[in-house]
């Protein structure tokens, strides 16, 4: 049975919250135009990070499921951060939150990344250690989360 609460679902829920805050509490829509458009400069690199991560998974013919993975990807964007997909999601949400101008919308990505850290990253790191052992420990030592 597939888990319903996976990171993309959290992203969609976060996007919904960002839009709802814009309409429900407009008194907090305080970021003036055109400064709110600076969010685009944050959202696009986040989207690109997610795409680069996906491309590396395809290149190595591996999967997002750690239990089914046979390859620890340590090149490209993975040489700079251990969680480029989550970082990309965070940046995408932050950029969109800024575009929507609402101060509460800007808080949503920070809650998102905190939940991802608690619900996914810790468990994924344990699975990576079990699956890849010393190779993962070396990678973890050399690359920041």
Mean local confidence (pLDDT), 2-18 = 86
What is the residue range of 74's domain? 32-142
pTM: 0.90
C-alpha distance from residue 81 to each of 1, 27, 64, 73, 74 (Å): 31, 37, 16, 11, 9
Domain with residue 136: its CATH number is 1.20.120.1630
Task: Please tell me the total count of domains within the chain.
Answer: 1
- 62-114: pLDDT as tens digits: 766 655 667 888 899 999 998 999 999 999 999 999 999 999 999 999 999 99
Q: For residue 31, give the nearest of 90, 92, 94, 91 by alpha carbon.
A: 94
Residue with tokens 């997909």: 85
How far apart, in whole angstroms, are the C-alpha atoms of residue 136 and residue 121? 14
């Amino acid at each position: 049975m597939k888990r319903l609460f996976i990171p993309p679902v959290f992203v969609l829920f976060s996007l919904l919250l960002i839009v709802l805050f814009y309409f429900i509490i407009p008194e907090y829509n305080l970021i003036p135009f055109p400064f709110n458009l600076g969010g685009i400069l944050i959202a696009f690199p986040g989207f690109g990070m997610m795409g680069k991560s996906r491309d590396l998974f395809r290149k190595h013919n591996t999967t997002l499921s750690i239990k089914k993975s046979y390859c620890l990807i340590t090149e490209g964007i993975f040489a700079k951060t251990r969680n480029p997909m989550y970082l990309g999601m965070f940046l995408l949400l932050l950029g969109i939150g800024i575009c929507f101008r609402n101060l509460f919308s800007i808080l949503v990505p920070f809650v998102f990344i905190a939940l991802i850290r608690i619900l996914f990253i810790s468990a994924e790191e344990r699975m990576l250690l079990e699956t890849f052992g010393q190779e993962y420990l070396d990678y973890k030592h050399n690359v920041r989360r």
